[in-house]
Amino acid sequence: MFYKYLKIIYITGLACWLHSIFSLFRIYCYHLKIKKRPENEQALLHNQYSLIERNIWYFTAWPFLLITFITGIWLLSQPGIYKEGWLHLKLVLMAGLFIHHLHCGLIRKKFADQTYSKSAISLNILKITTFFFVVIIISIAFLKDLYSELWGLTILSILGVILLSGLIILFRKTFLKKSDQLNSKSSAKTD
């Protein structure tokens, strides 16, 4: 019975941790757009967004990450659990998600220092990367009874193709929109 309660805490912590990462990337996109505002608004908005990002980072992302990892380690103390192949893949993906989390913190610091220089496209790609981790980890956890190496590779390949297609569509829409804006600006200058 204790195992089931621990699993509920683990899943809740994971969901809240991932929600905080998604929220940070959304706020990063808003933060990036303040450069288009008048100079007097930029400083105020920068301070507000930096405060929101800091609060999400320290008061939701890190605490829920710790809850997820502590309960996850506790769940790993089950006898014989390391013999299951799906768990090894999930642990590797969780390590990748942790590295992604740390990268999210580096972006937060760059925004706070006003040194972030990449585009909204890169932020959206990172947000989709978070989604990729979530879908794969949840799929592996819930389909563990059906898991075999071939089945797992098939699922990963299909999800990878779907997500890559989404990234290509997102990139093309954003790129085409920006190229149209540049073309309209250049034609306006020549007139």
What is the tens place of the pLDDT at every residue in 139-151? 777 777 666 666 6
Distance CA 140, CA 154 (A): 12
What is the tens place of the pLDDT at every residue in 89-111? 788 888 989 999 999 999 999 99
Mean pLDDT, rounded, for 7-33: 93
In the prediction, which pLDDT does 122 show? 83
DSSP letter (8 states) at residue 37: S
In the prediction, which pLDDT does 109 show? 94
Q: What ranges do the domains of the chain cover?
A: 2-181
Which residues lie closer than 8 Å to 28 by C-beta, 6 or more apart? 53, 107, 108, 111, 116, 123
